[in-house]
């Protein structure tokens, strides 16, 4: 059948398989890239912000009570420090300051 010189030519409709095998147009490609970019961006933004299950891992080593016991021993005893100074119990130091008073200046500087 030749339609080359005929005036009553009508285009035949495409079959279903030809329509499905067409290459996607530019708009579909751009939409796909945009959706992919948004999904990756959301994943990157939320990475690290989603709370996980907390795990308690005890640390080996000294505890706060060990440091407090050492400090209480130092505050409640007489002795020498590593810098060569002498320390006294804190209760005794409080009593000495109450008896003697705090040191004062003869000419205090004016307050700015």
- Is 76 inside any structural domain? yes
> In this model, does residue 35 exceed pLDDT 90?
yes
Give the C-alpha separation, 98 to 92, whole Å. Answer: 10
As for how many domains the chain has, the answer is: 1
Structural domain includes residue 52: no
Residue labelled with tokens 């109450």: 98
Cβ atoms 81, 66 nearer than 8 A: no
Q: Please give the residue that has the higher pLDDT: either 76 or 11.
A: 76
Gap between the Cα atoms of 8 and 59, Å rounded: 90
CB within 8 Å of 87: residues ≥ 6 apart: 74, 77, 78, 79, 80, 81
22 — pLDDT class (breaks 50, 70, 90) = low
Q: Is residue 9 situated within a structural domain? A: no
Residues 79/86, Cβ–Cβ less than 8 Å: yes
Q: CA end-to-end span of the chain, whole Å?
A: 110
Inside any domain, residue 75: yes
Whether the per-residue pLDDT at 98 is higher than 90: the answer is yes
Residue 7's pLDDT band (cuts 50, 70, 90): low
User: What residue ranges in the chain does DSSP mark as E strands?
Assistant: 79-80, 86-87
Diameter over CA atoms, the chain? 128
pLDDT band for 58, please (50, 70, 90 cuts): confident
Residues across the chain: 112
- Give the residue numbers spanning the domain of 85: 65-100
81 domain-assigned: yes
**Does residue 18 fall inside a structural domain?**
no
């Amino acid at each position: 059948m030749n339609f080359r010189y005929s005036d009553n030519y009508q285009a035949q409709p495409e079959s279903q398989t030809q329509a499905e095998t067409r290459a996607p147009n530019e708009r579909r490609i751009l939409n796909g890239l945009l959706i992919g970019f948004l999904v990756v961006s959301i994943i990157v933004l939320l990475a690290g912000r989603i709370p996980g299950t907390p795990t308690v891992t005890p640390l080996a080593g000294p505890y706060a009570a060990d440091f407090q016991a050492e400090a209480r021993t130092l505050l409640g005893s007489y002795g020498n420090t590593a810098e060569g100074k002498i320390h006294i119990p804190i209760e005794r130091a409080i009593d000495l300051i109450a008896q003697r008073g705090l040191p004062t200046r003869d000419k205090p500087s004016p307050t700015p």
